[in-house]
Amino acid sequence: MPRDLSDIALHAARAAAELVRGRATRGVVVAATKSSDVDVVTEADRASEALIRELIRERRPDDAFLGEEGADEPGTSGVRWIIDPIDGTVNFLYGIPQYAVSIAAELNGEVVAGVVLNVATGTEYIAREQPGGTVVALRDGEAIAVRPPAPLSQRLVATGFSYDSDLRELQARALVRLIPRVRDIRRLGSCALDLCHVAEGAVDAYVEEGVNLWDHAAGAFIARAAGARIELSVGVGGRALLLCAPAHGFIEFRAAVVDSGYSAASAHMRE
């Protein structure tokens, strides 16, 4: 079943990406804001999620759905689809080619399939089960893997910032302490794609507080299949803190993150 679910996710992601490209060509329309006046929703977000749900429901009518823009829908099959119709909406709004359709499938509460499709470039990331039960991470059909070991000072770290101004301030303070310890920082604007960049070795690690399940469900599954370790904990601002790095260097990276002030544990260390 997991392989079938990944095929369904890829089919839906391709169709949604085509829809989003068409909306970008005609001009992006902001439909609403969410957590703040800089956290936008476009008409394309809503249309993309509606299309994804429709296409999946045609083949699997008994499944549940969790999406960023639509209502949660219960199901009876044990499968739940986790959808981010455009991860990186602000990039989409500004025409920056770093935004994606992200679709994951859970089976009895465990993610078993994931697709992240960069809408602007067409690059497809997928983690799928192979004969024998192993899971492989692919980029456009070719296997990918995390970067080999490197000293912390030579690691390129991706991150993101909350739409909440108070949490942004905390993140900025932690970033000031982390950046002297690593090669550099990149803020690209899409959690799903950042996780895929760890998976393909384009960056060495990723850290961000304030992520939601739909932001990372597919990307984290792909990253794990490529050799990364994922950890969700509580950040200094009290929200979900996501860390992703190659398994071989994860413990050292986590220690640097905590020491820099990203984690709730960081606050206890300073008391």
Secondary structure E strands in the chain = 30-33, 40-42, 64-67, 79-87, 100-107, 110-118, 124-129, 135-139, 142-143, 156-159, 184-186, 205-209, 228-234, 240-246
33 and 84 part of one domain: yes
* CATH assignment of the domain containing 215: 3.40.190.80
Average pLDDT over every residue of 110-114: 97
Which residues, 6+ apart, have CB-to-CB distance to 202 below 8 Å? none
* CATH assignment of the domain containing 133: 3.30.540.10
Average pLDDT over every residue of 65-94: 93
Residue 68: predicted pLDDT: 84
Q: Which tokens hold the place of 259?
A: 């020491």
Residue 195: predicted pLDDT: 98
127 and 162 part of one domain: no
Number of domains observed in the structure of the chain: 2
245 and 114 part of one domain: no
161 and 135 part of one domain: no
Average pLDDT over every residue of 14-23: 93
Could you give phi then psi for residue 62, rounded to 5 degrees? Answer: -100, 5
CA-to-CA distance for 9 and 127, rounded, in angstroms? 11
Which residue has tokens 């959808």?
Answer: 83
Residue 137: predicted pLDDT: 98
Average pLDDT over every residue of 175-185: 98
Residue 202: predicted pLDDT: 98
Residue 129: predicted pLDDT: 85
pLDDT-derived band of residue 31, with 50, 70 and 90 as boundaries? Answer: low
16 and 54 part of one domain: yes
Last residue of a domain, one of 94, 116, 143: 143
Residue 28: predicted pLDDT: 55
Q: pTM (2 decimals)? A: 0.93
pLDDT-derived band of residue 23, with 50, 70 and 90 as boundaries? Answer: confident
10 and 135 part of one domain: yes
206 and 115 part of one domain: no
Say what percent of the chain tops pLDDT 70. Answer: 91
Q: Which tokens hold the place of 87?
A: 């991860």
What average pLDDT does the chain have? 92
91 and 173 part of one domain: no
Max Cα separation, the chain? 55
Residue 99 confidence (pLDDT) above 60? yes
Residue 9 confidence (pLDDT) above 60? yes
Residue 35 confidence (pLDDT) above 60? no
76 and 205 part of one domain: no
pLDDT-derived band of residue 40, with 50, 70 and 90 as boundaries? Answer: low
pLDDT tens per residue, range 239-259: 999 999 999 999 999 999 999
Residue 271: predicted pLDDT: 44
Last residue of a domain, one of 143, 161, 190: 143
Last residue of a domain, one of 143, 171, 194: 143
